[in-house]
Structure 1
Amino acid sequence: MEKIILKGITWGHSRGLLPLQAYAQRFNELNPEVEIVWKKRTLQEFADFPIEELTKSYDLLIIDHPWVGCAAATSCVLPLDRHLPKEYLINQQENQVGRSHDSYFFGGHQWALAIDAATPVASYRKDLFEKNKTLIPDTWSGVLELAKAGKVAAPAIPIDLLMNFYMFCQFHGQIPFQSDREVVDHYTGLKALETMRGFYGLLDPQFFNANPIKVAEIMSSSDDYWYCPFAYGYSNYSRPGYARNILTYGNLVKYKDNQRLRSTLGGTGLAVSEFSANKDWALKYAQEIVSESNQIHEYTANGGQPGHRKAWLDERNNLLTQNFFSNTIQTLDESFIRPRYHGYLHFQDHAGDPIRDFLMGKLDADAVLEKVDKIYKKSKNV
């Protein structure tokens, strides 16, 4: 009997690869006729080669929730509500972290399962704060004071700056994308950019080339930086033995009226290609790896950051990660969901560039908002 081989595509980090490979091995032990091979690629490669093209070559795909508008428009992945048991999807919906499961529901269909949940959260070197007898910031003003002392790190590549621009627009009172003509009103946009310049201007310029993984690596491998106020969380760095020093994670700081910053939901979903020659096997693997039991146990144990709420509340998982999950779940529950219309990814791929240029002193604020809105209208075909 010829062996069935399923191909999957994911992103290149321990969190995004190892739990998929681990369950592929277990799946093969239970189903010897099926082998699942996972390939990794960089986040930039995901941006450079459209996922809809990848569906022609891969059976299983790890996706970002803003892509589901494209999924609905092209039907290149399976609507899982037509293939998975209703009670299974109800369990996923009732046990989501934040709105992770809902973020993959678009146009009346569920295009992926929330296999992984994340949003920007705070991280810090608890040992350094204790050694220096310094309090961990809990307010925005406290973050700025620590940044002035040169102890703060934060990712500042274009995509992360754009996600934080959404956050700072809400900081100043407006939720982005309420209009088809502009991302936010001009006043709010200027205030958000001004707040961002006040913060990023205090950081080492090296962070304009650092993503959240790079920041976590810098913070865990040296004693130069004690605190990061917002970067997509990675529970791996809170696990003993993963990096030289452990990072502790927590919710975002307060800024006014005791309100906390509201970050932008990330995480990933698992989708099944419409072009797969072995859809039933691909669906079986997807259903099992995102199941409540696997997410609580094997998925998390193998370095994953699960999408199922019971895994986040599990006592053993929190012991394993210095309470990463229980310490940050509030921020995930409060997080902002990006637009998912077909075309949004064009905006996301380009709108962070002028913000970065502004923060590096290459562009004025009015020009930034003009460029951002131009990109937005192009993405909406307005």
Structure 2
Amino acid sequence: MKKPITLRGITWNHSRGYTPLVAAAQRYGELHPEVSVTWDKRTLQEFADAPLDQLVPQYDLLIIDHPWVGRAAAVGLVLPLDSYLSGGVLRDQARHSVGFSHASYQYDGHQWALAIDAATPVASYRKDLLDKHDAALPTVWDDVLSLAKAGKVAVPSIPIDLLMYFYTFCLVVGQEPFLSEEEVVGQVSGIEALELMRSLWCLIDQRFFEMNPIRVAECMTAEAGYWYCPFSYGYSNYARTGYAANVLAYTDVVGFGTSDNKMRTTLGGTGLAVSATSRHQQTALDFATWITSGVIQSTLYAEAGGQPGHRSAWENERVNLSCNHFFKDTLPALDRAYVRPRYNGYLSFQDRAGEPLQRYLRHGGDPTRVLTEINTIYRESRKRL
């Protein structure tokens, strides 16, 4: 009889991030009776903020955000998977990537995680309420502003989400952020992006400055006052009948100027990494390969409420039928999503730069000063390099 092995994993506290891992762990244990996989969870904010360094010694498997890979690579926190997994596995993951999800875990010539979950901000809406009030679904930015003036728009507006939207509006005005080592974005483009954002957020209910995407989805499915959300990291759970009191429908974000000129949002999702200090590395690698495979992602993982990182699940008709075609309807936004920087030090920027942005969007002020503060935080973050 083989010696029992226990793998410990850490993930984040939502049905999307926890339940499919537990379901997969149960089935993996049935297929491999000598292996037990247990999962701990932390809050979404802890997932964004808590230092990975403190978690690695405690866990074999880690669900991570792709901006962590610069830090992981710098200090050897997790295994470079290209040195352990077959070329066939990695080629399959690359070929079936949802947008740049797979590539987002590449840094310094290595693959530090496998994309197990994919997301980007997309639009969501209450179809029943739009139909009831004979209201049209927004297709361009001006439509969003009109609906916001009527008080019917909800949007997650805590600092980190606002920062992700700031990148979107930099792209809208024609400048990709982070191309310079001295500033996130140039002054003219940065101010224009800030003022465009302010045109919406000056109309938004103050309550949303305290809400992340999960809380906004809970609000929209429980209340009848908000019909539309222009940007929020998508959660297919809320598109599933029975998950909440009412179903959310999801679609691509609006165009700017014309409906064809779709905005680009900022890639999220998660990756599955293997701790460099694990005492059971091969077993952890086997589990990671199995759970991120197309067959498991398209069946057990998706059926348990997961939001797969494997493209075959997003294109699977059976999977789409279970969630009001969430995956097919939002896939175009994923395919063009912007990838955040991953340098060692970026996370210190991300942790701080949303604060001045939120103050400006909430209370107004001088956009030049806001941009100066954001760029100062950026330069400080690069001193770690």
1:363 deviates by 4.6
1:84 deviates by 1.0
- What pairs with 1:156-235 in structure 2 (closer than 5 Å)? 156-235=157-236
1:125 deviates by 0.3
1:52 deviates by 2.2
Indicate the residue corresponding to 1:31 in structure 2: 32
2:124 is paired with a residue whose SS is strand
Indicate the residue corresponding to 1:140 in structure 2: 141
**325, 334, 337: which is aligned to 1:335?**
337
1:254 is paired with a residue whose SS is coil
Residue identity matched to 1:334: R
Q: Quick one: distance in 2 between partners of 1:132 and 1:49?
A: 44
Q: Quick one: distance in 1 between partners of 2:371 and 2:240?
A: 41
Contact kept in structure 2, 1:121 and 1:252, CA below 8 Å: yes
Contact kept in structure 1, 2:13 and 2:43, CA below 8 Å: yes
Indicate the residue corresponding to 2:107 in structure 1: 106
Indicate the residue corresponding to 2:154 in structure 1: 153
| Number of equivalences | 382
Q: Quick one: distance in 1 between partners of 2:22 and 2:299?
A: 15
**372, 377, 380: which is aligned to 1:378?**
380
What's the TM-score, normalizing by structure 2?
0.97
**309, 323, 326: which is aligned to 1:324?**
326
Q: Quick one: distance in 1 between partners of 2:193 and 2:49?
A: 29
Indicate the residue corresponding to 1:75 in structure 2: 76
- 1:229-249, CA deviations, whole angstroms, 9 ceiling, x for partnerless residues? 010000000000000000000
Contact kept in structure 2, 1:354 and 1:363, CA below 8 Å: no
Gaps in structure 1 of 5+ consecutive residues: none
1:2 deviates by 5.1
Residue identity matched to 1:352: G
Q: Quick one: distance in 2 between partners of 1:323 and 1:25?
A: 27
Indicate the residue corresponding to 2:130 in structure 1: 129
Q: Quick one: distance in 1 between partners of 2:232 and 2:373?
A: 25
- 1:88-111, CA deviations, whole angstroms, 9 ceiling, x for partnerless residues? 110110110111000001111100
Q: Quick one: distance in 2 between partners of 1:215 and 1:360?
A: 17
Contact kept in structure 1, 2:48 and 2:65, CA below 8 Å: no
Q: Quick one: distance in 1 between partners of 2:68 and 2:31?
A: 32
Residue identity matched to 1:124: Y
Contact kept in structure 1, 2:49 and 2:351, CA below 8 Å: no
Indicate the residue corresponding to 2:276 in structure 1: 274
2:177 is paired with a residue whose SS is coil
Contact kept in structure 2, 1:80 and 1:111, CA below 8 Å: yes
Contact kept in structure 2, 1:115 and 1:306, CA below 8 Å: yes
Q: Quick one: distance in 1 between partners of 2:45 and 2:242?
A: 28
Q: Quick one: distance in 1 between partners of 2:166 and 2:136?
A: 27
Indicate the residue corresponding to 2:85 in structure 1: 84
- 1:280-328, CA deviations, whole angstroms, 9 ceiling, x for partnerless residues? 1111110000001001111100000001111000000110010100000
Indicate the residue corresponding to 1:14 in structure 2: 15
Contact kept in structure 2, 1:120 and 1:233, CA below 8 Å: yes
- 1:70-127, CA deviations, whole angstroms, 9 ceiling, x for partnerless residues? 1111111001111111111101101101110000011111000000000000000001
CA-based RMSD: 1.1
1:46 deviates by 2.9
What's the TM-score, normalizing by structure 1?
0.98
1:37 is paired with a residue whose SS is strand
1:179 is paired with a residue whose SS is coil
Q: Quick one: distance in 2 between partners of 1:48 and 1:229?
A: 25
- 1:121-151, CA deviations, whole angstroms, 9 ceiling, x for partnerless residues? 0000001111111111111111110010010
Q: Quick one: distance in 2 between partners of 1:232 and 1:88?
A: 28
Q: Quick one: distance in 2 between partners of 1:341 and 1:134?
A: 44
Q: Quick one: distance in 2 between partners of 1:204 and 1:361?
A: 12
